[in-house]
Structure 1
Amino acid sequence: MARAQAVGAGLTDADFTRFAEYFYKRTGIHFASSKRYFVDKRIEACIRQSPYDNFAGWFAALRVNERSGAMHQELINQLTVNETYFLREDYQFDAMLSTVLPNVLRDRGGVARIDGPVKILSLPCSTGEEPYSIALRVLEEWDRIDDVDVEIHGADIDSDVLAKATHASYGDRSLQRVPKPWLHKYFAPIGAGRYQVDEAIRSAVTLHRVNVCDTPAMRVFRDFDVVFCRNVLIYFDELSSRRAAENLYGAMRPGGYLFLGHSESMSRISPIFTPTRLPEGIVYQRPTGAK
C-alpha cells in the first residue's frame, strides 16, 4: 500500500479530506482538491500562530476548543477571500439608483405611505468598500435621499475584515475608482497614502458578523429591500448555495431585489427567486405575496 503523501503543514491526503469536511460542515464552504495548495498555506499560517508545531495537534485543539471560537475564527479569517475595491461592478449600483429604488418606493406606496426605512444589505461586505460605495452613490446620486430614511448594513463571516471596515482606512488600490471630488469630500488623509472614510458615512453603515449559511444567525436580518450578495455563492456547493439562497430569501421583504456577482446565477441554485431583467442586467426578486 502506498504511503499517504505529506504536503505543506504536515497534511496527508486523508488529513486534507478530514479538514475539508470539518470546515464545510461549519461554514458551508467547500474546498475541492484543486484548492489544496491554498488551504495548506493558510493552515500553515494558523499553526505558526498557535502553540502547536504540526497539523495533528492543531486540528485536535481546534475541535476541542471549537466552542471558545478563537481558533475557529482565526481559521475562517485565513481561508476566506476578500478581494474588493470601491465602486466595483458599479453598473449594479446604477440599476439600484435608476430602477430598483424607485420601484421599491412605488411598491411600498410612495414616501407618504412607506412603512419604515428602505433597507440595503451588503453580504459579504469584506473590508467595507461595498457598503460604503452604496452609501456614497445613494447620498450623491439618489434624488429622493432627502425624503426617505435609508438603512445600510454590511455583514461578513471574517472578524478581521469587519475590524478593517469599522476603521474604514483605504489605500490607492481600493480608492482607484472613487471620483476625486468624492475623495476630497468624504475621505480624510491619514498618512502613508491612506484615507479614512468620513465619520458621517461610517456611522451610516451598521456592521455584523454572520455566516450566510447559518440559518439561525441569519434570522436577525429581516425586511431588506435590496441585498447585494456578490461573488460568494461560487464558493459553495449545491446544498450550501441552496441554504444561503433560502436565508437571503428570509432576510428580504416580498418584492425585494437581490444582486449577485456577474458570474453567478440564482436560476441554477433555487427557483424561489424570480429573475427580472433590467436595462443594466439581471436582478432577482423575492416574489410579492410570498411568505
Structure 2
Amino acid sequence: MSTAARTDDTALSEAQFARVREWVYRRTGIQFAESKRYFVDKRVQSCVRKHGGSFDAWFAGLRLGADPALAQQLINELTVNETYFLREDHQFEGLVHSVLPAIAAERRATGSSQPIRILSLPCSTGEEAYSIGLRLLEDWEDIDDFDVEIVAGDIDTRVLSFAQRGEYGPRSMQRVPLAVRTRWFDRVDAETYRVKQDLRDAMDFRVVNVCDSESMRAYRDFDVIFCRNLLIYFDEVSSRRAAENLFGALRPGGHLFLGHSESMSRISPIFTPVRLPEGIVYRRPPIGAAR
C-alpha cells in the first residue's frame, strides 16, 4: 500500500498531516510541530472513524464547513487541558492585593458604578475561573462593594461542559485549603467535590477563540484578563494577532496576566509591563498615557 493511499486506521501521510496542520493553524493559531505528529495522528484517526469513510471524505467535509460539528470535534480532540485550582497562585495574590484595589480606587474616585469585568481565557475545565472567584470571595476586602462579572472562555466545548458541571477530583483540588473546600464546595463522593451552586451561577462560560479577530470584537471593556500558558503554542504571527485581540478586549488601563514562561515584551510593544510586588503584569495604557 502506498503512503498516499493509507486509510483512517493507519498513520497519516505527509500530505494529510500537512493539510490538517494547516487547517488547525488557520482556524486556531496553534501550530503543531513534526514532534507532535503521533499526537495529531491518533486524534485525527479518532475523528475519521467517528465520521465514517475515508480521510479524504472527512477532510472535505471539514474544509467546506458543511457540518460544523466536524470542526468542533477536531478542535476538542487537539486542545490540551492541564490545570488545577490556584495554579500560579502568586498571580491571584497580585489580582486581589494590587490590581483590584487600584481599580476600586479609580471607580470610587470617578463615581463609576460599572461592574468590574474579568475574563479567563482559555478557561479549560474551569479551575482558573473558579479560582478567581474563590480568591475574590475569600481575600478581597471590597468584594461586597462592587459588582463583579467573570467570563470564562475556551475553544473546546467539552471542557466548557465540564466546567459548567463544576465537579473536580483530587488532582484539581490538591491546593485548595480544607476551610475553602468546606465553604465553597459540596462533597459528591470520597474523591469528588462540586463547586457550590452560587459560585457556579456567577460564572459565564462561553466558546471563545482568541485568534479569531472577528468574534473577539464581541469582547470589550474587561478590566482584567487572565490568558495563561496559551501563547506558548502559537508562532509569531498568531501570537501577535492574539495580543492585538487581547488588547482590544481590555478597557484602557486594563491588566493582562500571562503564564510564568510567557513574555508579552517578546510579542508586541502595545502593552506596558508593570512590576507588581507579586510579579509582572501587562497593561493596556490608559487614554492619554505616553507610549
Do both proteins adopt the same fold according to a TM-score greater than 0.5, normalized to the shorter chain?
Answer: yes
Q: What is the Cα deviation at residue 132 of structure 1?
A: 0.4
Q: What is the Cα deviation at residue 58 of structure 1?
A: 2.1
CA distance in 1, matches of 2:190, 2:164: 19
Q: Which residue does 1:62 correspond to in 2?
A: 62
Q: Which residue does 1:277 correspond to in 2?
A: 275
CA contact (8 A) 2:3 2:13 kept: no
Q: What is the Cα deviation at residue 55 of structure 1?
A: 2.4
CA deviations over 1:86-125 (Å, ceiling 9, x no partner) = 0000100000111011111233344x71240011110000
CA contact (8 A) 1:123 1:154 kept: yes
CA contact (8 A) 2:271 2:284 kept: yes
CA separation of 1:11 and 1:150: change in aligned 2, threshold 3 A: same
The reply on whether 1:221 has 2:225 as its aligned counterpart is no
CA contact (8 A) 1:118 1:225 kept: yes
CA separation of 1:140 and 1:3: change in aligned 2, threshold 3 A: closer
CA deviations over 1:53-74 (Å, ceiling 9, x no partner) = x42232223223x253101000
CA separation of 1:132 and 1:3: change in aligned 2, threshold 3 A: closer
Q: How does 1:177-256 map to 2 (within 5 A)?
A: 177-191=175-189, 193-256=191-254
Q: Which residue does 1:113 correspond to in 2?
A: 111
CA contact (8 A) 1:87 1:133 kept: yes
Q: How does 1:139-158 map to 2 (within 5 A)?
A: 139-158=137-156
CA contact (8 A) 1:85 1:130 kept: yes
Q: What is the Cα deviation at residue 15 of structure 1?
A: 1.5
CA contact (8 A) 2:91 2:257 kept: yes
Q: Which residue does 1:96 correspond to in 2?
A: 95
Letter in 2 for 1:63: R
CA distance in 2, matches of 1:122, 1:39: 26
Q: Which residue does 2:75 correspond to in 1?
A: 76
Q: Which residue does 1:38 correspond to in 2?
A: 39
Letter in 2 for 1:74: Q
Q: Which residue does 2:135 correspond to in 1?
A: 137
TM-score, normalised to structure 2, is 0.93
Q: Give the 3-state SS of the residue equivalent to 2:188 in structure 1.
A: strand
When the two chains are superposed, the root-mean-square deviation of aligned CA atoms in Å is 2.0
CA deviations over 1:252-277 (Å, ceiling 9, x no partner) = 01111100000000011111000011
Flag as ranges the 4+ runs of structure 1 deviating above 3 A: 2-10, 107-110
Q: What is the Cα deviation at residue 164 of structure 1?
A: 0.5
CA distance in 1, matches of 2:13, 2:200: 45
Letter in 2 for 1:118: I
Q: Which runs of 5+ in 2 are unaligned?
A: none
Q: Give the 3-state SS of the residue equivalent to 1:49 in structure 2.
A: helix
CA contact (8 A) 2:169 2:191 kept: yes
CA separation of 1:74 and 1:192: change in aligned 2, threshold 3 A: farther
CA distance in 1, matches of 2:286, 2:93: 23
CA distance in 1, matches of 2:168, 2:40: 27
CA contact (8 A) 1:254 1:290 kept: no
Q: Which runs of 5+ in 1 are unaligned?
A: none
Q: Give the 3-state SS of the residue equivalent to 1:258 in structure 2.
A: strand
Letter in 2 for 1:163: S
CA distance in 1, matches of 2:187, 2:128: 20
Q: Which has the higher helix share?
A: 2
CA distance in 1, matches of 2:36, 2:11: 16
Letter in 1 for 2:32: F
Residue among 160, 164, 167 paired with 2:165: 167
CA distance in 1, matches of 2:241, 2:108: 32
CA separation of 1:3 and 1:210: change in aligned 2, threshold 3 A: closer
CA distance in 1, matches of 2:67, 2:226: 31
CA distance in 1, matches of 2:288, 2:236: 23
The alignment of Structure 1 onto Structure 2 pairs a total of residues equal to 287
Q: What is the Cα deviation at residue 153 of structure 1?
A: 0.9
